[in-house]
Chain A
């Protein structure tokens, strides 16, 4: 099952601190949306409001067009995958996964069948009688997912579900998560502060900063044409060059006043936007590319980060004629 979600100018306060500042967001049914942002920006707060664990100071939350004000978590068509999984330690996996159905009065055999089915879906067939403490972190994560999906929620909320996993497992799980979402078709709202994870799974990324939405869009759009300096920097390394009336430290590159943004991988030996001669300061081999810091000869105070082709071998001290294939100009308001 699936439903759309509408967040309408929701504000949340803790004491005098503003955790969410009039946040509005519409999410289509079946969409996989990722809330991305640094620690303390209000992601969990927003998720808790959707799940019904707290109520906003002002604003409305609609799921499938229905206002959720005053509806308890148990009555909402949402379920949550918690960061620490919150599996019930005293129950078997089957009982954990079947818990939601039990609360809905489903008979035991039916519950058991559904639990087996969900465990198989998340890649844990035949482990129904194990207990949570017998599982690895990744397996617990899957059980938490199975438990939340077993009641066929319209909206699944995931609070840093992969946060406790090591990097390799995280990359494997994020692919699986995407695959499972495609199969069940439920609306997923997923919180993370790992932008790679966000890009791997999201249909749309919502970049948050200090209780506000800094940017929204598909991964490509948020990465390549960010609407704010914050989201540009948060989505990955980026070179920022101040421009004033068409002039910058590197000379006349683009018209206007604001910040010129160039991703390190957009800089190379060929390109439409010439950056001039640059001296290589240091070089590190990264496998997929060579990462280097360079200083333009025209502007000794500026340092650019560039990702050069893996095959290019350069030494510190070398001078290269660099250009950018792609850039973005954020005009000052």
Chain B
């Protein structure tokens, strides 16, 4: 039983890691195809992609839209969570459901709906229209995380602050946000990740200023290439570094 467990664990890790290992290994391929045999170690593909202007622009777009849309989603989600956790509003269950609803709808449908609306309203597509879509998908996430983190402990501290004369803005700024900092940081981080990696909304709602996943998508059209491996490996490296940093600074904080 014990042996079986470890065997299963090993097999699972092998399955999970297989494509990533293949991806990274063949990004160093000294040849034109990222498939066996491995023809030797080369950094030429990294060189190539770092010199690819379109790709670097797309990377910048992705970062921009990820941070801006996540910040917006976080602020709105936090304020809404605060309102629904504090104030007894009529229909608050319904309101909560409405705010969470986009989570259960496929990104494709959200994108299609927005595309229809933007077309009808005569709004031309740009990075910002994709950003709007990203806020739509991240808002429920930020709201849900912030809402779940607001416990009694928090509620009482806010009450105490109000009792001591704090205005609502002061309560939010001096008490709620600092107390929720870990949850808010996690929500922001997750949002950035989702937005950064999101394809279909960005694909349908941008025209010229595309994001990184869309640019990678267009690279795929020309077939297998170690260049794609190199981009994927770089993204992987950056994301994993970010995760490790988050892990160290956010979740390992001494109590």
Residues in A neighbouring B156, C-beta threshold 8 A? 82, 84, 86
Q: Are B165 and A74 in contact (CB under 8 A)?
A: yes
Task: Report how far A100 CA is from B166 CA in the complex, Å.
Answer: 7
Q: Are A151 and B157 in contact (CB under 8 A)?
A: no
Q: Counting CB contacts under 8 A, is B207 at the interface?
A: no
Q: Are B165 and A86 in contact (CB under 8 A)?
A: no
CB distance from B5 to the nearest CB of A (A): 38
Which of B159, B165, B255 has a CB less than 8 Å from the CB of A100?
A: B165
Q: Are A99 and B164 in contact (CB under 8 A)?
A: yes
Q: Counting CB contacts under 8 A, is A17 at the interface?
A: no
Residues in A neighbouring B119, C-beta threshold 8 A? none
**For window 137-169 of chain B, which residues contact chain A by CB distance below 8 Å?**
152-153, 156-157, 159-167
Residues in A neighbouring B166, C-beta threshold 8 A? 74, 99, 103
How large, as a class, is the contact surface on chain A?
20 to 34
- The residue of chain A having its C-beta at the shortest distance from the C-beta of B167 within the complex is A74
Q: Are A88 and B163 in contact (CB under 8 A)?
A: no
Task: Report how far A316 CA is from B175 CA in the complex, Å.
Answer: 62
Residues in A neighbouring B163, C-beta threshold 8 A? 51, 53, 73-74, 78-80, 148
Q: Counting CB contacts under 8 A, is A183 at the interface?
A: no
Which of A75, A82, A147, A148 has a CB less than 8 Å from the CB of B159?
A: A82
Q: Are B153 and A84 in contact (CB under 8 A)?
A: yes
**For window 64-96 of chain A, which residues contact chain B by CB distance below 8 Å?**
72-75, 78-80, 82, 84, 86-90
- B161, B165, B166, B175, most chain A CB atoms within 10 A: B165
Known: A82-B156, A84-B153, A87-B157. A73 touches B174 (CB 8 A): no
Interface string of A93-111 (1 = CB under 8 A from B): 0000001101110000000
Known: A82-B156, A133-B255. A88 touches B161 (CB 8 A): yes
Q: Are B164 and A90 in contact (CB under 8 A)?
A: no
How large, as a class, is the contact surface on chain B?
20 to 34
CB distance from A54 to the nearest CB of B (A): 11
Residues in A neighbouring B162, C-beta threshold 8 A? 72-74
Which of B159, B164, B170, B178 has a CB less than 8 Å from the CB of A151?
A: B164
Task: Report how far A103 CA is from B156 CA in the complex, Å.
Answer: 18
Residues in B neighbouring A89, C-beta threshold 8 A? 157, 179
Interface string of B189-212 (1 = CB under 8 A from A): 000000000000000000000000
Known: A88-B179, A89-B179, A90-B178. A99 touches B255 (CB 8 A): no
Q: Are B165 and A88 in contact (CB under 8 A)?
A: no
Residues in B neighbouring A148, C-beta threshold 8 A? 163-164
Q: Are A104 and B165 in contact (CB under 8 A)?
A: yes
CB distance from A131 to the nearest CB of B (A): 11
Task: Report how far A51 CA is from B164 CA in the complex, Å.
Answer: 11
Residues in A neighbouring B152, C-beta threshold 8 A? 84
Task: Report how far A48 CA is from B197 CA in the complex, Å.
Answer: 49
Residues in B neighbouring A87, C-beta threshold 8 A? 157, 160
Q: Are B175 and A88 in contact (CB under 8 A)?
A: yes
Residues in B neighbouring A151, C-beta threshold 8 A? 164-165
Residues in A neighbouring B159, C-beta threshold 8 A? 53, 73, 80, 82, 86
Task: Report how far A73 CA is from B167 CA in the complex, Å.
Answer: 10
Residues in B neighbouring A75, C-beta threshold 8 A? 165
Interface string of B81-124 (1 = CB under 8 A from A): 00000000000000000000000000000000000000000000
Task: Report how far A51 CA is from B156 CA in the complex, Å.
Answer: 14
**For window 150-167 of chain A, which residues contact chain B by CB distance below 8 Å?**
151
Task: Report how far A51 CA is from B160 CA in the complex, Å.
Answer: 11
Task: Report how far A275 CA is from B167 CA in the complex, Å.
Answer: 65
Residues in A neighbouring B255, C-beta threshold 8 A? 133
Residues in A neighbouring B153, C-beta threshold 8 A? 84, 86
Task: Report how far A123 CA is from B156 CA in the complex, Å.
Answer: 24
Known: A82-B156, A87-B157. A103 touches B164 (CB 8 A): yes
Task: Report how far A51 CA is from B165 CA in the complex, Å.
Answer: 12
Task: Report how far A72 CA is from B165 CA in the complex, Å.
Answer: 9
Q: Are B179 and A99 in contact (CB under 8 A)?
A: no
Task: Report how far A151 CA is from B162 CA in the complex, Å.
Answer: 13
Q: Which residues of A contact B (CB under 8 A)?
A: 51, 53, 72-75, 78-80, 82, 84, 86-90, 99-100, 102-104, 133, 147-148, 151
22 of the cross-chain contacts (CB-CB < 8 Å) are A53-B163, A72-B162, A73-B159, A73-B163, A74-B163, A74-B164, A75-B165, A79-B163, A79-B164, A82-B156, A82-B160, A84-B152, A84-B156, A86-B153, A88-B157, A88-B160, A89-B179, A90-B178, A100-B164, A103-B164, A103-B165, A133-B255
- The list of the 8 closest CB pairs from A to B, nearest first, reads A100-B164, A86-B156, A86-B160, A103-B165, A90-B178, A74-B165, A103-B166, A86-B157
| Contacts A74-B165, A82-B160, A87-B157 known; 19 new A-B pairs at CB < 8 A | A73-B162, A73-B163, A74-B167, A78-B163, A79-B164, A80-B160, A84-B152, A88-B160, A88-B174, A88-B175, A89-B157, A90-B181, A99-B164, A99-B166, A100-B164, A103-B165, A103-B166, A103-B167, A104-B165
